[in-house]
Structure 1
Amino acid sequence: MSNPSFSQSKSKLINALSAGDLLQAGELAEQFMLRFPDKPEAHYFSGLHSLLAQENGKAVQQLEVALGFDDKNLNVLLNLGVAYQRLGKMDAATQAYLAVLAIVPVNIQALINLGSCHYQKKSFLECKEAFSKAASLAPDNSTVISGLADAERSLGNWRKAIQLYKRAITINPDDERANNNLTLMHLNLQHHGQVKEAARKAIEKNPDNIDAYIALGRAHIAEEGYEEGMDTFASAFEKKPEHPELLTAIGNNYLNIGDHSEASSWFNKALSLDSSLPVAILGMAQCLDKHDLHGQGIALLNENAESLSSLPQYWVTLSDLYWNEGEADEALRCLEKASALAPQQASLYCKMGGILSSSGNMEGADACFRQALAEQEDCIGAISGLATLKKSSLEASHVQKAHELLEKDALPDGAKGSLHSALSYYYSGNKDFSSAVAHMAEANRFQWASRVRQGWEYQQDSHQQVVATNKQLFTRQLIETGQQIGHSSDMPVFIVGMPRSGTTLTEQIMARHPSVLGVGERNYAVIALQAYQHLYAEKFSLGHAEAKKRSLTEPDSDLLHRVAEEYLTSLREQIEKANKPGVRYVVDKMPDNYMNVGWIKLLFPNASIIHARRDMRDVAISCWQTQFGMIRWACHIKHLVARFEGYLEMMAHWQNVCPDGFMNADYEVLIDDQESGSRKLLEHIGLPWDDACLKFYESDRLVRTASITQVRQPIYKTSVAKWAPYEELIPELIHPLSALMKVYR
């Protein structure tokens, strides 16, 4: 039998390729090449077979040879571009597609491929240009319209992207990519009802659509349906247990419910399948943030900046890390980057508003909250932010909107808590105390219900046990021992007390002095204690529990000095960052350090400790009204009262064992005679008076606490005895504290 002719061989090969029979096509392509090595078609079809078989390097070799025969062959150029693109050679792929368009400017496939290539290169303007040209030529091509939507989404034009995805779906209802991306857009814009509807329809059409399951689960979680979200993810996991994005979504849900270690394990599973998966890397950074390893989280994101910096969530996560690290300027810069990428995302403006209000830029904060409302008229974070800023002067339209939103049955508990909190500020500012109290109670009820689903609990007895342990460990003798073996530095200054007791005001006054730097609320003292106990366990080969006790009852001078030097290094780094070289003292205003006075006196016996005191009834009302992000004892009145009792017991002990170890600074004294009270603060740490301290409110320092508005204006006396109108409205809170006040001062 004679050998098949060139045309017969070519026809058989084309039929095998068309039928998707890659095994037969491979054999035929090899035979074709052996018989006709001087024919460009032999190299082209060999390259095409390699491309279909995902052998992209081999495909490039053969297609480049074919192109040598005819450098204007459109099919060769198009497939060569695809091979380059798969290999990550984007510049070469771009040139191949441009070569096609130079020959045939209206080639739709070349425009689609070029747009796709630019999208992978994150050249979104060029991507939009390519798909726009294609759309003008093929307005009914769903692939083209979806590609244009992707470009608009990446450029931050989310509403335009939504319209384009809808148009693509109208053209082709089965366009899974358009359906999935439309669902994602609704999720980003917090249209959770629409997300769930779209995701369920997508799953009905394709029960194996894992992206739709992920979107549905995320929508449930956004509405605080953590169990429903996990059930959805579990259904998807049964179908595809090695889907990296699904594993990451599961990890994120564990983050939401406070199980950070479990979250880390799921992110690690995802990264084992795809080491460059953006959402998994971001998840790991968030886990580090939750474990107070902010610096490590920042380092992780900086290492991956090249691949992640085009994502708004990258900048949001980095902003959170910087904020929790105390780098508020960097946090704001990151949010500005995020909003440039996603200008229609309302939550970004809310975050920016919070930081600007902390820096005293109330006009800027107001503008950000209003921009959030412009993007999303029912943005609860913006309404809450404006209420905190304006209180009684909150516009009637916003008050009405808050009431309207509270009527929505589907509103998550956390959102209800925020709205009730906002209304409590408004009504208390207008002296409608009865309404204010009602909203305070509802705000705490809903906040607690929301946080319980995130894993919150509060063991009232645990705080009392720590108080008892401290009283037993830190005797007068141990405090005196610290004078002999502790570090001699007096650079650290500690302001301790209850939250809302005037710690921020005290710090602001002191930080206006050129020799003082305020660094806000830092965990340095606790971190130093943990480091010391760890080193002690290693040095003396002890278990953790034994080392925890013996390290304090039998302190080691060498280890204390080692840990103290690391502590001082952290303070010097803060001085360098603040560009304030004349600093002599660094103030840490972590209120909860009232539990650590004994440890502080052991580590730094010469450190100044200032006890910020305020009428506990005013403190309690303020705590009851404030929705703290981390404090768990402020949502229930019985927890509040018990916390004050433990605090008083702890401070009485410190007063007994180190009566000269700290200064009591009364908030009411500062309010009544600011200059006299401020002078005493500076005298306590050995500094001369500076008139700048009288204008504490002019500081450009960023305040990271709930005391924003109080420290951004001159002293005002209406903050004294704020509890009085509430005495008979919340007797279960005020009356026990009135009794405690008799022994407080």
Structure 2
Amino acid sequence: MNNFPVANQITIPEAVKRAYAHWNAGQAPQAEQLANQVLQVVPHHPDALHLLGLMAHAYNKPDLALDYLRRACMLSTAPAAYCSNLAEICRQRGLLEEAEKNARRAVAQEPQMTAGWNNLGIILQESGKFDASLECLQRVVALQPDNHEAHNNLANTCKLLGRLEEAQASYRQALALHPNYAEAHSNLAFLLCEQGRFDEAAAAAEMAIELNPHLADAYLNLAEIEMSRLRHDDALQRLNSLMAFAPQHAGALAARAQLLIKTERYQDALTCAHEAVRVAPDSARAHNVLGRALQALDQHEQALESFERAATLPGTVMEEAMVSRATLLMEMGDQDAAIAAFDHAMEKFPGSMRVMMARTDSKKYRSGDPDIALMEDALAQAVKPSISDQVGLHFALGKAYLDTDNSERAFYHLDQGNAIKRSVMVYDANQTRQWMRHIAASFTPALADRFKHAGAASERPVFIIGMPRSGTTLVEQILASHADIAGAGELSALRFAVEARGRFPDDLARWNDDDFARVGEDYLSRTSSLAPDALRLVDKMPANFLYAGLIPLILSGARIIHCRRDPVDTCLSCYSKNFSSEQLFAYRQDELGAFYRDYQALMDSLRNVLPADRFIEIDYESVVDDLETQARRLINFVGLPWDDACLDFHHTRRVVRTASVSQVRQPIYTTSKGRWRRHAAYLGPLLTALGIQSASSDTSGQA
């Protein structure tokens, strides 16, 4: 039937034509009425269904839009443009397989349709099929060389392929064609951030926001830039600005959760990540950041599930999620499963630098290891990897060459990696020295005596303090092997409890008994849910040495174990580790040595005020030489009966989330004692800063 069964009949084609005319003229009610009248006569009319689909999409009714467009494309004769539009709606809903199918159908029907090729290129890009995406988008640029959006889309794929110079050229071309193209400014900002050009990146993102104050990606990119510069407060401010007009933006929620993880506000991060998943249940990024939040809170099985879910969803997060899962398995002590997971990730992403860097700590390199050549080649390319990948590759190669006893190549890469990382950090060694001296001066014998009974009374907390890489993880693992002791890892609870009461140590002079007690109670409250049945809870945050003088005054029953190790071995181990946390002092040999001397001076001062029955010092070398004597000493110190499991600490199944994760899964070994002497020729600035004049000098004067 081609006519309406009413007076003043018009043909179906004329009705459809009028409906589209009404829609284009902004007369939506008339357009919808005519389209529905057409469907009453011809229930599967593709043109009417297509129009209603466009209208539903415009009025933010995605499910209805998807239904109409699917029905419009049911017939094999459906126009290519309809299939392309359906593909775009599917992409926006995260249905990437269906999107690709319809986009390919569109360009097969109409090979010269640039919009179809553009849609397909973006779909392939979001599916992680970057080479195929590149081919599509190059075709679009060839068909429409003056299309600024096409150049921007091509640049996005080039960036994902690591072809950063080509990406930058395409972004610049997009901006040359359209200087006020906010999206290109925003995308260029992200690229410049990956190249470590943070000031230029921030300027580009600010320009994007000025041009389009509601461009969400620009705020996300600016927040990422500030996080890369360790300006976490500024990053949070940018995310708050975005969420002021888009409070349920999944990307903003995921980015906020990531920032909260970085600042160790794990419970808040978990809440935020759950909200991101609720808003976007098919978002791989949301599930991945949820996994990271769960991991930080020791909810390991749930974290594995989130990483696995993220790895099965389409998009560009699969590789990261697979690496996160493998890394968590390694932290959980399941070495075989971790290695298998890394291998699976490498099979899925052959030659992946991300996988190679992540599995560095799970293996001991030997000469000729193919990973070494691949990582060297990646750094030798004319087009450099992103700044974070450059850092990771240099540290991974430094570790590989240390394993193979090639000091020259090891320190070439360690010096490069540390220099790049140091260049993006703000650190004042003199200010740090003055702060430590202020702490030392604040804890006098008079203060210690006056408030020695003020703190909350609990024998549960055990603090392991010292420099990073000084044996703190080893000591924790020995203790945590005891049936009545739980190792909690590196907690920020003490720092948060202290900071909640004011400036440290400035405000100490104004505190009374109640103030000290409240800080202790705050700490106990923050840790009460951790292993509640354990008689002792070990907090091995090394940097708590800054609060060592305070601990007996806020927690009168707490015990403190100070780990010490050869100064040069300690500093070399720090210098060779790409810390995930912010050890700002560790990335220049002279600053590292100066920090060690300042730490040493602080501990020398605090040793005079710490109660002898609540404070012991243990040397890493002594543990290595005589494990049983030192282990028994530790267990006796924490006031518990001996447990033979403490001698088999490397068999203890618990999560270890530190740079020493692989070492504590092995029996005691002595190869790390005095290892710095093999590399002394490359440690000049460090040795000078430590006051050691030659490789043969005695280093027994350790902290």
Q: Name the TM tier (shorter chain).
A: 0.7 to 0.9
Task: Please give the alpha-carbon distance, in whole angstroms, between the structure 2 residues aligned to 1:268 and 1:740.
Answer: 54
| 1:589 and 2:540 are equivalent in the alignment | yes
- How many Å apart are 1:349 and its aligned residue? 4.6
| 1:446 and 2:420 are equivalent in the alignment | yes
Match of 1:24 in 2: none
TM-score (ref. length: structure 2) = 0.86
Say if 1:403 and 1:288 are closer, same or farther in 2 by CA, change over 3 A.
closer
Match of 2:475 in 1: 506
| 1:717 and 2:670 are equivalent in the alignment | yes
SS at match of 2:617: strand
- How many Å apart are 1:503 and its aligned residue? 0.3
Match of 2:600 in 1: 648
Say if 1:184 and 1:394 are closer, same or farther in 2 by CA, change over 3 A.
farther
Task: Please give the alpha-carbon distance, in whole angstroms, between the structure 1 residues aligned to 2:284 and 2:210.
Answer: 31
Tell me, yes or no, if the aligned pair for 2:473 and 2:660 is still in contact at 8 Å.
yes
Match of 2:403 in 1: 429
SS at match of 1:514: coil
Structure 2: which 5+ residue stretches go unaligned? none
- How many Å apart are 1:601 and its aligned residue? 1.1
TM-score (ref. length: structure 1) = 0.82
- How many Å apart are 1:320 and its aligned residue? 4.4
Which of 356, 373, 396 lines up with 1:400 in the alignment?
373
| 1:357 and 2:310 are equivalent in the alignment | no
| 1:689 and 2:642 are equivalent in the alignment | yes
- How many Å apart are 1:425 and its aligned residue? 2.5
Q: Deviations over 1:277-306 (max 9, x none)?
A: 444343433443444333223322322323
| 1:199 and 2:171 are equivalent in the alignment | yes
Match of 2:153 in 1: 181
Say if 1:460 and 1:695 are closer, same or farther in 2 by CA, change over 3 A.
same
Say if 1:239 and 1:658 are closer, same or farther in 2 by CA, change over 3 A.
closer
Tell me, yes or no, if the aligned pair for 2:517 and 2:555 is still in contact at 8 Å.
no
SS at match of 1:612: strand
Q: Deviations over 1:54-108 (max 9, x none)?
A: 5656754564355446545443332122222323334433443454455665444
Which of 636, 660, 670 lines up with 2:588 in the alignment?
636
Say if 1:656 and 1:429 are closer, same or farther in 2 by CA, change over 3 A.
same
Tell me, yes or no, if the aligned pair for 2:151 and 2:173 is still in contact at 8 Å.
no
Tell me, yes or no, if the aligned pair for 1:387 and 1:394 is still in contact at 8 Å.
no
Match of 1:620 in 2: 571
Say if 1:325 and 1:193 are closer, same or farther in 2 by CA, change over 3 A.
farther
One-letter amino acid of the structure 1 residue matched with residue 404 of structure 2: N
Tell me, yes or no, if the aligned pair for 2:565 and 2:702 is still in contact at 8 Å.
no
- How many Å apart are 1:481 and its aligned residue? 4.0
SS at match of 1:605: coil
Q: Deviations over 1:431-488 (max 9, x none)?
A: 3335444443343333323x2xxxx122222233233222332233433444422111
Match of 1:269 in 2: 241
- How many Å apart are 1:240 and its aligned residue? 4.2
| Structure with the higher fraction of residues in helix conformation | 1
Task: Please give the alpha-carbon distance, in whole angstroms, between the structure 1 residues aligned to 2:400 and 2:46.
Answer: 68
- How many Å apart are 1:593 and its aligned residue? 0.7
One-letter amino acid of the structure 2 residue matched with residue 633 of structure 1: F
Match of 1:337 in 2: 309
* Paired residues, number: 690
| 1:568 and 2:524 are equivalent in the alignment | yes
Task: Please give the alpha-carbon distance, in whole angstroms, between the structure 1 residues aligned to 2:446 and 2:698.
Answer: 29
Structure 1: which 5+ residue stretches go unaligned? 1-6, 8-32, 534-543, 576-580
Task: Please give the alpha-carbon distance, in whole angstroms, between the structure 2 residues aligned to 1:344 and 1:266.
Answer: 23
Say if 1:227 and 1:58 are closer, same or farther in 2 by CA, change over 3 A.
farther
Match of 2:441 in 1: 472
Task: Please give the alpha-carbon distance, in whole angstroms, between the structure 2 residues aligned to 1:85 and 1:549.
Answer: 59
SS at match of 2:563: strand
Tell me, yes or no, if the aligned pair for 1:214 and 1:233 is still in contact at 8 Å.
yes
| RMSD, aligned α-carbons | 3.7
Match of 2:617 in 1: 664
One-letter amino acid of the structure 1 residue matched with residue 598 of structure 2: G
Match of 1:527 in 2: 496
Q: Deviations over 1:641-665 (max 9, x none)?
A: 2222222222222221124131212
One-letter amino acid of the structure 2 residue matched with residue 554 of structure 1: W
Task: Please give the alpha-carbon distance, in whole angstroms, between the structure 2 residues aligned to 1:227 and 1:361.
Answer: 43
Tell me, yes or no, if the aligned pair for 2:277 and 2:287 is still in contact at 8 Å.
no
Q: Deviations over 1:575-607 (max 9, x none)?
A: 2xxxxx642211110001111112211111101
Say if 1:437 and 1:561 are closer, same or farther in 2 by CA, change over 3 A.
same
| 1:258 and 2:210 are equivalent in the alignment | no
One-letter amino acid of the structure 2 residue matched with residue 199 of structure 1: Y
Say if 1:624 and 1:116 are closer, same or farther in 2 by CA, change over 3 A.
closer
Q: Which moved more, 1:243-252 or 1:499-508?
A: 243-252
Match of 1:93 in 2: 65
Say if 1:351 and 1:552 are closer, same or farther in 2 by CA, change over 3 A.
farther
Task: Please give the alpha-carbon distance, in whole angstroms, between the structure 1 residues aligned to 2:316 and 2:237.
Answer: 33
- How many Å apart are 1:522 and its aligned residue? 0.9
Q: Which moved more, 1:101-110 or 1:306-315?
A: 101-110
Say if 1:600 and 1:295 are closer, same or farther in 2 by CA, change over 3 A.
same
Q: Which moved more, 1:591-600 or 1:78-87?
A: 78-87
Say if 1:150 and 1:602 are closer, same or farther in 2 by CA, change over 3 A.
same
| 1:611 and 2:611 are equivalent in the alignment | no
Match of 1:554 in 2: 511
One-letter amino acid of the structure 1 residue matched with residue 372 of structure 2: V
SS at match of 1:688: coil
- How many Å apart are 1:333 and its aligned residue? 4.2
Say if 1:396 and 1:528 are closer, same or farther in 2 by CA, change over 3 A.
same
Task: Please give the alpha-carbon distance, in whole angstroms, between the structure 2 residues aligned to 1:110 and 1:130.
Answer: 9
Q: Deviations over 1:12-45 (max 9, x none)?
A: xxxxxxxxxxxxxxxxxxxxx9x97999999877
Tell me, yes or no, if the aligned pair for 1:478 and 1:553 is still in contact at 8 Å.
no
Match of 1:18 in 2: none
One-letter amino acid of the structure 1 residue matched with residue 539 of structure 2: D
SS at match of 1:718: coil
Which of 635, 658, 661 lines up with 1:705 in the alignment?
658
- How many Å apart are 1:276 and its aligned residue? 4.0
Q: Deviations over 1:507-544 (max 9, x none)?
A: 111112222211111111111112233xxxxxxxxxx6
Q: Which moved more, 1:472-481 or 1:715-724?
A: 472-481
Which of 434, 457, 463 lines up with 2:432 in the alignment?
463
Match of 1:116 in 2: 88
| 1:301 and 2:262 are equivalent in the alignment | no
Say if 1:681 and 1:92 are closer, same or farther in 2 by CA, change over 3 A.
same
SS at match of 2:530: helix
One-letter amino acid of the structure 1 residue matched with residue 537 of structure 2: V
One-letter amino acid of the structure 2 residue matched with residue 570 of structure 1: R
Task: Please give the alpha-carbon distance, in whole angstroms, between the structure 1 residues aligned to 2:687 and 2:381.
Answer: 33
Tell me, yes or no, if the aligned pair for 1:723 and 1:734 is still in contact at 8 Å.
no
SS at match of 1:640: helix
Say if 1:431 and 1:255 are closer, same or farther in 2 by CA, change over 3 A.
closer
Q: Which moved more, 1:213-222 or 1:290-299?
A: 290-299
Q: Give the share of equivalent positions with the same residue, in percent.
A: 24
Tell me, yes or no, if the aligned pair for 1:106 and 1:137 is still in contact at 8 Å.
no
